[in-house]
Amino acid sequence: MIRDDDIGGRGPARYPIVGVIGGSRVDEDLRSMAYDVGRLIAENDAILVCGGLSGVMEAACQGAYEHDGVTVGILPSDDTYEANPYVQVPVATGFGIGRNTVIVRTADVLIAVGGSYGTLSEIALALNLGKRVVHLQSWSLDQAGAVDPDLYVEAATPEEAVERALEYQPGPQ
């Protein structure tokens, strides 16, 4: 899918880039939602970027991979072989959790599926950069402080999450 003869030469803007964030250990419900999020990203011709490891990241990559999508894994280690098997383009940062910043900067918009402290750090970085985060069963930030409701958006289903994400496409910064 990354190659489309109708598209060549129009630059990286050609496809939206959607970040998927969430924990490396998940229950079956979250895994299933993450798979569907990945599938829907692929079916909407967007590139999926994530942290490249297991749990939500692997389920989302599998969903995209099995539906002809493109999957990018921004890894914490310096070893591209640590990516999950559905990552087509592994990027080895070697920055540990500091790679979260790179995920957030690369994505146009993000979808959080569950997640713990690491996911919260990515949500906060995205909001700091003015990027929308749509979340499925993740942190209830509106109860924790002053949060822009147009930036941090709750969704009930993977379909709603991807729709709310893709409707939000800021142009070049």
Which residues here bind its own copies, judged by CB under 8 A? 1-3, 8-13, 17, 47, 49, 65-66, 68, 70, 72-74, 78-81, 83-98, 100-102, 105-106, 108, 116-118, 120-121, 123-125, 127-129, 138-141, 143-146, 172-173
Residue 160 C-beta: closest distance to its own copies, Å: 21
Residue 87 C-beta: closest distance to its own copies, Å: 5
- DSSP code string of 63-106: HHHTTT-EEEEEESSS-GGGS-TT-SEEEE---GGGHHHHHHHH
Nearer to its own copies, 49 or 161 (CB): 49
How far CA 155 is from CA of 17, 33, 125, in Å, comes to: 19, 11, 20
Q: Which two tokens stand for residue 162?
A: 């991807």
Nearer to its own copies, 146 or 156 (CB): 146
Nearer to its own copies, 2 or 159 (CB): 2
State which H helix or E strand residue 20 sits in: strand 17-22
CA–CA distance, 117 with 115 (Å, rounded to integer): 7
Nearer to its own copies, 29 or 159 (CB): 29
